[in-house]
Amino acid sequence: MAVTFRGSLATQYLMPSRDSNCFVIENTARSLCAVNILRIVLKFDANSQDSGAGRIMPLVTAKKGTGAASGGMVLTDRVAWDTTINAPDPGVIIRMDGGFTGGPPVTLTGTPVTTARQYSARQVTGVEQWYSFNCTLADSIGTNYTKLRPGEYLTLVWDMPNTAPTAIPFVQIAWEEDGLGTEYTISGNATLSASPVSGAKIVVVTDLDRDLPSPQVEILTTGAPGTWSKTLAAGVKASVFVQSRTGETLYTSDGKPYIVKP
User: What contacts 25, CB < 8 A, 6 or more positions away?
Assistant: 35, 37, 92, 93, 94, 148, 153, 154, 173, 175
User: What contacts 125, CB < 8 A, 6 or more positions away?
Assistant: 49, 51
Neighbouring CB atoms inside 10 A of 196's CB total 15
Give the pTM. Answer: 0.87
The answer to whether residue 129 scores a pLDDT higher than 70 is no
Q: pLDDT tens-digit profile of 7-50?
A: 999 998 888 888 889 999 999 999 999 999 999 999 887 766 66
Cα distance between residue 250 and residue 244, in whole Å: 6
Cα distance between residue 112 and residue 108, in whole Å: 9
The answer to whether residue 4 scores a pLDDT higher than 80 is yes
Q: pLDDT tens-digit profile of 168-186?
A: 788 999 999 999 999 999 9
Task: Please report the domains of the chain, with CATH numbers, ordered by start residue.
Answer: 3-179 (no CATH), 184-257 (2.60.40)
